[in-house]
Amino acid sequence: MEIVKLTKNTDIKIFEEVASLHKQSLQKTIASSLSVNKLAKVYLYLVDKQLIKMIISISNSSISGSLSYKEPKRRTSIINLIFLSLISMTGFIRHPIIWITEFYYKIGLYKNINSKVNIITLFVKEEFQNKKIGKLLIDNIINEYKNDIAVDTRVNNKSALNFYINNKFEIQNKNKKNIVLKKK
């Protein structure tokens, strides 16, 4: 098992494989409303502009999991927002309810929660689940940032909630759809 940090020089095919895995793992999200190609381009752009960081786990020459995260203090410029809006427009046009719902339930979710880093996504390919890959990915972030790590997940995603609680995250805030946890 190997952990690899993705960079702007990473082959787009790797980003496409991560995008495909993302779409299989997390449905009815903004990212899942985009094509694999567009989502891969969004990932590459975000990594290139250092707006997010991404790591992947590789098992037997295959991507088995991925974790993306950002430092909340990094701000996105208007130019970046315009570019991301343009590349994502088809997802919004095809699935406006998903976009509106996702944005609505994110408003205020992180209010009064200070963190050094926010985990955006963590997913593991189905055949590699329950094999400590998620733990390996999260430990990589914990080793780098120690504490002050926040993450949100769906209220009804019991396996994710149990995973984070078992890794010493505590519930900080929640609404009808999402729950925020923070590393103790």
List the chain domain ranges: 2-183
> CB atoms < 10 A from the CB of 56, how many?
22
- Evaluate whether 120 touches 68 at the Cβ level (below 8 Å): yes
Give the pLDDT of residue 154: 94
Residues 55 and 91: their CA atoms lie apart, in Å, by 25
Q: Any idea which residue has 């999991």 for tokens?
A: 65
Tell me the whole-structure pTM to 2 decimals.
0.90
pLDDT tens for the chain, 184 residues: list them.
899 999 999 999 999 999 999 998 888 889 889 999 999 999 999 999 999 999 999 988 899 999 999 988 777 889 999 999 999 999 999 999 999 999 999 999 999 998 999 999 999 999 999 999 999 999 999 999 988 899 999 999 999 999 999 999 999 999 999 999 999 8
Instruction: Report which residue type is found at 181.
Output: L
CATH of domain 2-183: 3.40.630.30
Residues 79 and 29: their CA atoms lie apart, in Å, by 24
Q: Which two tokens stand for residue 43?
A: 């990932």
